[in-house]
Amino acid sequence: MTGNTLEKTSLGARFARFRELGLLLFILLLSIGVQLRNPSFLTLENINDMVTNTAILSILAVGMMLVIVTRGIDLSIGATLALSGMIAALTVSAYPDVHPLWAILLGTLVGLLCGSIIGLLVSKSGILPIIATLGMMNVFRGATFMVSGGKWVSAHQMPASFKAIATGSILGINTLIFIAIIIYALFYYFITYTRTGRQIYAVGSNPDSARISGINNDKILWLVYTIMGGLSGLAGVLWVAKFASAQGDTAVGYELSVIAACVLGGVSIAGGSGKISGIILGSILLGMLNNALPLINVSPFWQMGIQGLIILIAVVINALVKRGVDRNNLMRRRI
C-alpha cells in the first residue's frame, strides 16, 4: 500500500504534467515564427495592443472556467456583455458627468442580474446549462436591441472620461490590463484559499459526494453563473469603452473564443479541473493568434475556422491525455 510506485508512465501522463510548459513553449515558438515573417510583431506597441485585447478575453475566461469546472457551459455571455455594455453606454451618453466608475458598477450589476437568472434556471429547475444559456442568450440579445431601439451608441456620444477607461493607465499599466490583473489575483485567492472556491471544484469533481459532504450544490451552481454574469457585465463596459461603440450585435459569438481559451488552457469539459495559470496562457495564445494572423497576411476570414480547429484539437488532446493518465494508473496496478 505504498504510494510511490512510478516505474512506467504513459505518454499522456507525462504530457499532463507539462501541459503549461508546453503551452508556453508553443507560444514562444509561435512568436518567433511570426516575428521572422513580420518584424513589427514584437514591437512594444503591438505587444501592448495584443495584451490589451487579451485582457477582456481573459477576464471572461476566469468566469467561464468556473462554469466549466461545474460541468456546465455558458453561451449567453456575448449577449450579457452586449446588454450591460449598451446600458452603460446609454447611461453615460445621457449623463456625461457621471464618474466612469459608476458606469463600470452599473454594467457589472446588470451582468450579475443576468447571470443570477441563468444561475436560478440551472440550479433550481434543473435545465441543462446549454439549453438555459442558449435561451437566455436570445433574451438578452433581444433586450439589447430593445433598450437601444436598434441604434448604436457611437464614439462622439460617449464622454471622454468614459473612453479613458480603456486608454488610461493606473501605476503605469493600462487600465484594462490592471483590472485583469486584479481580477486574476482576486480569483486566484478565491479558488485557492476560500472554502466556497474549493467547493466549486468539489461540485464539479463529484456532485453526489459533494452533496453528501454537506455542500449546497444549488448554491454553488447559482454562484458560478452569477459570477460569470458579473464578469461579463464588467467586460461589457470595458469593451464598449475600448471600441468606443455599443451596438446590438456587440460581441456576437465571443463566447466561443472564451470557451476556446478555457479548453486550450486545459480546463476539463468533464468538470472538476482547471487552473488560473492555464487559462491565462490559453487566453494569451488565442489573443496572439488573433493578432498575429493579420500580420503574416492570413486573411481575417480564416480566423473563425482556425479558432474552431484549435478548440477541436484542444479538446481532443485533453481527451487523449486523460486516456493516457488512466492507462498509466492501470499500468501501475500489478496483477
Site for other proteins in 151-190 (CB under 8 A): none
Give the binding range for other proteins (CB under 8 A) out of 158-166, 203-211, 230-238, 276-284. 203-211
CA distance 61 to 263: 10
Q: In this complex, which beta carbon is closest to other proteins, that of residue 48 or of residue 329?
A: 329
User: Three-state SS for 207?
Assistant: helix
Give the binding range for other proteins (CB under 8 A) out of 34-42, 90-98, 228-236, 327-335. 327-335
Q: Which residue has the cell 442568450?
A: 137
Per CB under 8 A, does 201 bind other proteins?
yes
Q: Which of 101, 213, 219, 294 binds other proteins (CB under 8 A)?
A: 213
Q: Which of 40, 43, 169, 206 binds other proteins (CB under 8 A)?
A: 206
Whole-Å CA distances, 220 to 19, 204, 214: 28, 10, 12
Site for other proteins in 215-244 (CB under 8 A): 215
Q: In this complex, which beta carbon is closest to other proteins, that of residue 169 or of residue 206?
A: 206
CA triple 154-287-26, angle to 5 deg: 175
Site for other proteins in 62-101 (CB under 8 A): 73
Grid coordinates representing 202? 468539489
Grid coordinates representing 139? 433574451
CA distance 220 to 237: 26
Q: In this complex, which beta carbon is closest to other proteins, that of residue 63 or of residue 274?
A: 274
Site for other proteins in 246-285 (CB under 8 A): 248, 256, 259, 263, 268-273
CA distance 254 to 251: 5
Q: Which of 29, 94, 128, 185 binds other proteins (CB under 8 A)?
A: 128
Strand partners, 169: 174
